[in-house]
Structure 1
């Protein structure tokens, strides 16, 4: 494990009540679904890319919902939301969830019988007319969690997509996608690579491509460095275009970072100028394109590599109308440097907060 993979559970906000878990999950679920629709409408992703982008977001939402069920009535452990520059769960939460589900069969054998637990619930509510204890609610939540959550759908540190052929007429033959959760900044990334293949049968080379991507494109780094690493280690692959989407920060009441957008929203929530469920979502798209080629290596180990363009950076902000007005007032420099004016998405309304 490299130093880039070392994680500590500091700089995290702890969710410690049922209400907070429900509230946080509703916010993330709502914001990501709004983002998927808006990304397509504003052509931030192509039709093909948006399909994979949605799938990765679905894995993220599935994992956060699993955390909600797991932790809601747990008196010993609490879910942690990153405070540094993310607003999403700390990476360790995903790792704990994945490892915990590896022992799923052991836990299922120790769970209380469902019928017995139901009888206890009814006896407590109908005969004794008392609320069900938190411990029994935790037992019920554990049954739901261990019998319904599947490990294969948990958002892992690296998630590989398939290699597919691109439509005829495009400048490359194939496209693949992958996603990773950066362990340093606790944010999800989605990547796309368009490339040509100079070998005979790509099916026999897919595993090698997947392995190189997993080992060389699984963290936040300079995009041209990532492109060069992929190109150098896959001599039969000619990358033409690499696109990386940095999803976040998610600016909300749980994120107490130094980001100016987050700070503006928190300040306005504190002054009761905007409701508690106010949010905004930043998104950054980086792209590099191959141009000419150059040769690297000695006489016996020459390899033709791509020369890459400067990285094209595009920043976006998605927010409800009221928040957009607020951000133009408090952070005009940031708003004026976006690739597009802030993109309006729906306002979230949560009753009985």
Structure 2
């Protein structure tokens, strides 16, 4: 995928970094709380949702530290339908941390840097040069960030027992960062296993999910691919959560909700830090089974119902009112009334004045 100026924005000032990262961090945390309060996912799904979201938040925080004082490189944010960082930023994080020891050896020692800071502040009575601040941020970045906590392009969850009353015995989850949408997706599959110990078959399951279910596609296409590649697995329910876009000042105006927010910000009807979050959940259920193949090598397949989609909007009260006025055709078709979340305090807007 080629990143063009129309597809991504570069955060090229400290004020923009502070504003962007506080907005994304705040809105995602509000979303997690709201999903739990409204019981949009069951308890086990919610626990997994929070774990994947924590990886996402950790990665974005690592980006904040990495780029804060860097004069040469700037972080790219997707503008098309996301507001999340461009997927390449996650790859850069992963690659950086794979070579962390090499980088740390080249950086100025912590004690040396501390002495230089104290000398500059106490004796010279001067501000710390930006070059030195970048060195300090680099030390924090490479010494504290851990590769295993980075939201990679594909993140595999473990196979666990499905909650009581589920449509199948086992549950496996995974998440991926789709490179075409620059958004995270979280998936759940409830399935039965034709064997005694599902753990003995986990490598085949994980490999199949990584190869077949690592990008956004028609859900029935994904389901058929999994069903065909795993003859011992009988999927009964596949659920996919599309997290985003986050509609705010960092997004492009092609999306109707984003356009409404940007227009209202431009008209000074709502503050600069206004936001709304879209969340879509697609579900595909098996209605029955059928067999295909020769007499001696028949394989059981699922007969899938039509995909069922539910769409949710999370936004502060003032934004919900505005969206009802400007985009009623969208707001009236949601799975439930828009979920009210907190607005970002005006103090996080670092350069509005």
TM-score, with structure 1 as normaliser = 0.96
Match of 2:65 among 62, 66, 69: 69
Once residues 226 and 64 of structure 2 are traced to their aligned partners in structure 1, the CA distance between those partners, rounded to angstroms, is 37
Once residues 88 and 251 of structure 1 are traced to their aligned partners in structure 2, the CA distance between those partners, rounded to angstroms, is 10
Once residues 75 and 346 of structure 2 are traced to their aligned partners in structure 1, the CA distance between those partners, rounded to angstroms, is 21
1:249 Cα deviation from its structure 2 partner: 0.6
Once residues 219 and 268 of structure 1 are traced to their aligned partners in structure 2, the CA distance between those partners, rounded to angstroms, is 34
**Other structure's SS at 1:205 match:** helix
Does the CA contact (< 8 Å) of 2:290 and 2:300 recur in 1?
yes
1:301 Cα deviation from its structure 2 partner: 4.0
**Other structure's SS at 2:346 match:** coil
Specify the alignment match of 1:244 in structure 2. Answer: 240
Specify the alignment match of 1:217 in structure 2. Answer: 213
Once residues 129 and 272 of structure 1 are traced to their aligned partners in structure 2, the CA distance between those partners, rounded to angstroms, is 42
Does the CA contact (< 8 Å) of 1:86 and 1:187 recur in 2?
yes
Does the CA contact (< 8 Å) of 1:281 and 1:318 recur in 2?
yes
Is 1:98 the counterpart of 2:94? The answer is: yes
Does the CA contact (< 8 Å) of 2:282 and 2:308 recur in 1?
yes
Specify the alignment match of 1:176 in structure 2. Answer: 172
Does the CA contact (< 8 Å) of 1:9 and 1:92 recur in 2?
no
Is 1:254 the counterpart of 2:216? The answer is: no
Greater displacement, 126-135 / 204-213: 126-135
Is 1:333 the counterpart of 2:329? The answer is: yes
Match of 1:291 among 287, 290, 296: 287
**Other structure's SS at 1:76 match:** coil
Specify the alignment match of 1:231 in structure 2. Answer: 227
Once residues 221 and 98 of structure 1 are traced to their aligned partners in structure 2, the CA distance between those partners, rounded to angstroms, is 25
Is 1:313 the counterpart of 2:294? The answer is: no
**Other structure's SS at 2:148 match:** helix
The answer for unaligned runs of 5 or more in structure 2 is: none
Once residues 257 and 73 of structure 1 are traced to their aligned partners in structure 2, the CA distance between those partners, rounded to angstroms, is 30
Once residues 286 and 59 of structure 1 are traced to their aligned partners in structure 2, the CA distance between those partners, rounded to angstroms, is 22
1:212 Cα deviation from its structure 2 partner: 0.5
**Other structure's SS at 1:171 match:** coil
1:66-215 to 2 correspondence within 5 Å?
Answer: 66-215=62-211
**Other structure's SS at 2:108 match:** coil
Specify the alignment match of 1:3 in structure 2. Answer: none
Match of 2:269 among 254, 268, 273: 273
- Count matched residues: 347
1:237 Cα deviation from its structure 2 partner: 0.6
Deviation per CA, 1:271-307: give whole Å up to 9, x if none: 2211111100000000000011122334454311000
1:9 Cα deviation from its structure 2 partner: 2.3
Once residues 330 and 249 of structure 2 are traced to their aligned partners in structure 1, the CA distance between those partners, rounded to angstroms, is 20
Match of 1:9 among 3, 7, 29: 3
Does the CA contact (< 8 Å) of 1:98 and 1:154 recur in 2?
yes
Match of 2:300 among 304, 327, 337: 304
RMSD, aligned α-carbons: 1.1
**Other structure's SS at 2:254 match:** coil
TM-score, with structure 2 as normaliser = 0.96
Specify the alignment match of 2:20 in structure 1. Answer: 24
Greater displacement, 177-186 / 110-119: 110-119
Does the CA contact (< 8 Å) of 2:167 and 2:237 recur in 1?
no
1:169 Cα deviation from its structure 2 partner: 3.6
Deviation per CA, 1:217-262: give whole Å up to 9, x if none: 1100011111111111111111110000000011111112400111
